[in-house]
Amino acid sequence: MNPPKCDELDYIHFLVAAQKVFSNVEAAKSHPAADSDGPAHDAYTRLLQRCQSDGTALWAEVQPCVPLRSGILVLDDTTLDKPYARVMGLVTRHWSGKHRAVVQGINLITLLWTDGNAHWPCDFRLYDTSDGLTKNDHFRAMLDSAAQRGLQPTLVVFDSWYASLANLKRVRQLGWHWLTQLKSNRLVDPDGAGNRAISTISIPAHGRRVHLKGYGWIKVFKTADPHGGVEYWATSDLEMTLEQCAFWALDAWRIEDYHRGLKQFCGVERAQHRSATAQRNHIGLAIRAFLRLETQRLTTGQSWFEVKTSIIREAVRAYLAQPRFTQISTA
């Protein structure tokens, strides 16, 4: 049997360099050996069916970049838009924060390590209705894997979607503190007089210790959101100050920057493969392509946009040095 003509790194570097078209056909046309004996697009199709670019493969690459005993872990999900998909694996309907509506797409759940500057995705899962696992199941599985890999974060941060009792207790079992938002109807007991909605109790500016129904003692803060509403932040760290809460919440926003970078610069939404296996591997390889952009950003200080643009700029310079297309003479 002949050896494969392309491998995972070929595809990863194609995703790093590609600007708008992220198809297997374009990957084959862009290969350095495309004009001789390079891989055909079918070679990339077979690659995406045979490789296993999962959370384990991601961790093997990112592990050297992640300090195990510092930073915070942020967990969130995002919808990869697939508005025109008719028959495509993993595509279902999900709520999209970007569109503020239920849309058609693939739900990507990510565990991100950050120190407020670096964006290192450590693990990911794809919500698949056929495997019987919920997003909360994936939440706990990724945290368990993080603990097994030796991570000891300062804090685990996530939004109210993941603030179930089972999830809060799992973080506690791992020996970590958590920070999240609670919905306004979450039941707490601040004074031993009985449980009531958190929105009905008085919370001073410096926060208040309350008993969360079914969990135990926590500390809550009441803050204003950018739209004039109210947010209820809660943490298992009873010594946390409002300033620390705001600091960690701002750091946790790095995962939104990561989602934007992954979508804009790594083509994670752009593959039109029909099979779930190919989609899963494309997404995993796109995340590993992001690692290259992030490494370059941290090394050079360039933005992800500038890193991508510099690749095209080199090609433009080469063309301008020796233009191939000239105006046809009409004389």
| Model pLDDT for residues 257-272, shown as the tens digit of each residue | 999 999 999 999 988 8
Model pLDDT for residues 168-194, shown as the tens digit of each residue: 999 999 999 999 999 999 999 999 999
pLDDT of residue 110: 98
Tokens of 281: 């591997």
Q: Which residue has the tokens 């809550």?
A: 220
- Confidence band (pLDDT; 50, 70, 90) for 38? confident
Model pLDDT for residues 106-162, shown as the tens digit of each residue: 999 999 999 999 999 999 999 988 888 999 999 999 999 999 999 999 999 999 999
Residues whose CB falls within 8 Å of the CB of residue 220, separated by 6 or more in sequence, listed in order: 182, 188, 198, 203, 207, 208, 209, 210, 232, 233, 234
Q: How far is CA 313 from the centre of its chain?
A: 28
Which helix (DSSP H) or strand (DSSP E) does residue 62 occupy? helix 55-62
Tokens of 139: 């939440």
Q: How far is CA 169 from the centre of its chain?
A: 23
Look at 41 and 289; give whichever has higher pLDDT.
Answer: 289
Residues whose CB falls within 8 Å of the CB of residue 225, separated by 6 or more in sequence, listed in order: 231
Share the mean pLDDT of the chain: 92
User: For residue 288, is pLDDT > 70?
Assistant: yes
Amino acid at 206: H
Q: Which residue has the tokens 């063309």?
A: 319
Q: Domain 55-259 maps to which CATH number in 3.90.350.10, 3.90.1150.10, 3.40.50.720, 3.30.990.10?
A: 3.90.350.10
User: For residue 85, is pLDDT > 80?
Assistant: no
User: For residue 34, is pLDDT > 80?
Assistant: no
- Number of Cβ within 10 Å of residue 198's Cβ equals 22
- How many whole angstroms separate alpha carbon 266 and alpha carbon 4? 24
User: For residue 201, is pLDDT > 90?
Assistant: yes
Residues whose CB falls within 8 Å of the CB of residue 84, separated by 6 or more in sequence, listed in order: none
Using a 10 angstrom Cβ sphere, with 0-12 exposed, 13-18 middle and 19 or more buried, the burial of residue 48 is: buried
User: For residue 1, is pLDDT > 90?
Assistant: no
The packing angle between helices 276-300 and 8-17, to 10°, is 60
User: For residue 86, is pLDDT > 80?
Assistant: no
pLDDT of residue 36: 76
pLDDT of residue 96: 73
Q: Which residues of 213-237 are buried (b: 16+ CB within 10 A; e: fewer)?
A: eeeeebbbbbbeeeeeeeebbbbbb
- Confidence band (pLDDT; 50, 70, 90) for 327? confident
User: For residue 231, is pLDDT > 90?
Assistant: yes
Q: Looking at the chain, which residues constitute the CATH 3.90.350.10 domain(s)?
A: 55-259
